[in-house]
Amino acid sequence: MGFLEGKTAEEKVLGGTVFPKVLHPSCTDESGTGFQVFSPEDFARVVESFKWDEMCYMGATTRVKVAHRVHTANEAPLHQLINFHHEMSLLKEFPSKIFFFCSVPSPEGGETSIVPSHIILEKMEERVPEFVRRLSETGCIFSFKTPKEEDSGAVVSKTWKTLLQTDDQVEAENRARAMIACDSVVFNQDGSAEFIFGPMNPIKELEGKRVWFRTILSYTGNERDVEVSFSDGSPFPVEATNAYKSILEENCVDLSWQKGDILLVDNLSVQHARRPGKPPRVILVSICK
Which is nearer to Fe ion, 94 or 197 (by Cβ)? 94
CA 4 to chain centre: 28
Least distance from Fe ion to the Cβ atom of residue 120, Å: 16
The minimum distance between CB 211 and Fe ion, in angstroms, equals: 16
Taking CB under 5 A as the criterion, the residue among 87, 111, 173, 261 binding Fe ion is 87
Comparing CB distances to Fe ion, the nearer of 89 and 192 is: 89
As a whole number of angstroms, the distance between CA 79 and CA 126 comes to 34
CB of 88 to Fe ion, least distance (A): 8
Closest CA to 211 of 141, 119, 82: 119
Phi, psi of 116 (to 5 degrees): -70, 130
The backbone region for 152, taken as left when phi is positive above 0, alpha when psi lies in -120 to 50, beta otherwise, is alpha
Least CB distance from residue 259 to Fe ion, whole Å?
21
In the bound complex, which residue of the shown chain has the CB atom lying closest to Fe ion?
Answer: 87
Looking at 79-87, 110-118, 206-214, 244-252, which segment touches Fe ion (CB under 5 A)? 79-87
CB of residue 71 to Fe ion, shortest distance in Å: 11
For the bound state, the minimum distance from the C-beta of residue 69 to Fe ion, rounded and expressed in Å, comes to 16
| Nearer CB in complex with Fe ion: 87/261 | 87
Task: List Cβ neighbours of 56 (8 Å cut-off, separation of 6 or more).
Answer: none
Q: Name the residue nearer to Fe ion (CB basis): 87 or 173.
A: 87
State how far the alpha carbon of 58 is from the alpha carbons of 130, 145, 227, 279, in Å.
Answer: 35, 16, 21, 26
Give a three-class secondary structure readout of 203-244.
EEEECCEEEECCCCCCCCCCHHHEEEEECCCCECCHHHHHHH
What number of chain residues touch Fe ion (CB under 5 A)? 1
Which one of 81-89, 133-141, 229-237, 248-256 is the stretch in contact with Fe ion (CB under 5 A)?
A: 81-89
SS3 44: helix
Residue 173 in the binding site for Fe ion (CB under 5 A): no
The residue among 119 and 155 lying less far from Fe ion, judged by its C-beta, is: 155
For residue 254, the minimal CB distance to Fe ion (Å) is 15
Closer Cβ to Fe ion, 58 or 237, answer by number: 58
- For residue 159, give the amino acid letter: T
Give the alpha-carbon dihedral of 114, 119, 120, 122, to 10 degrees: 180
Judged by CB under 5 A, the stretch of 38-46, 82-90, 131-139, 180-188 that binds Fe ion is 82-90
Nearer CB in complex with Fe ion: 98/140: 98
Closest by CA position to 156, among listed 232, 83, 243, 52: 83
Instruction: Give the binding site for Fe ion (CB under 5 A).
Output: 87
